[in-house]
């Protein structure tokens, strides 16, 4: 099983009701995204190329 190291945006820290997504980029070629409220829940995994394309559109 892949061991992702998830991080939350520093923007979310200290915010009231700071529910957001967490992102892991520590596995080569893969980006994993999960709901911060469900730390033990499922994660969506995409290629780092797909994640970069998504981020460019934001």
Q: What is the pLDDT of residue 19?
A: 74
Q: What is the pLDDT of residue 8?
A: 86
Cα–Cα dist 7/17, whole Å: 17
Residue 36, in any domain of the structure? yes
User: Model-level pTM?
Assistant: 0.79
Q: What integer best gives the mean pLDDT of the chain?
A: 87
For residue 39, give its domain range: 7-57
**Average pLDDT of the segment spanning 29-44:** 91
Q: What is the pLDDT of residue 31?
A: 97
Residue 2, in any domain of the structure? no
Residues 6+ apart with CB under 8 A from 6: 22, 23, 24, 32, 34, 39, 43
Count the neighbouring beta carbons within 10 Å of the beta carbon of residue 31: 22
Residue 29, in any domain of the structure? yes
Residue 1, in any domain of the structure? no
Counting the structural domains of the chain, the total is 1
**Average pLDDT of the segment spanning 6-30:** 82
């Amino acid at each position: 099983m892949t061991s992702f190291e998830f991080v939350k945006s520093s923007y979310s820290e200290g915010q009231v009701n700071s529910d957001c997504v967490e992102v892991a980029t520590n596995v080569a070629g893969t980006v994993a995204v999960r709901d911060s409220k469900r730390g033990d829940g499922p994660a969506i995994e995409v290629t780092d190329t797909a994640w970069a394309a998504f981020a460019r559109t934001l």
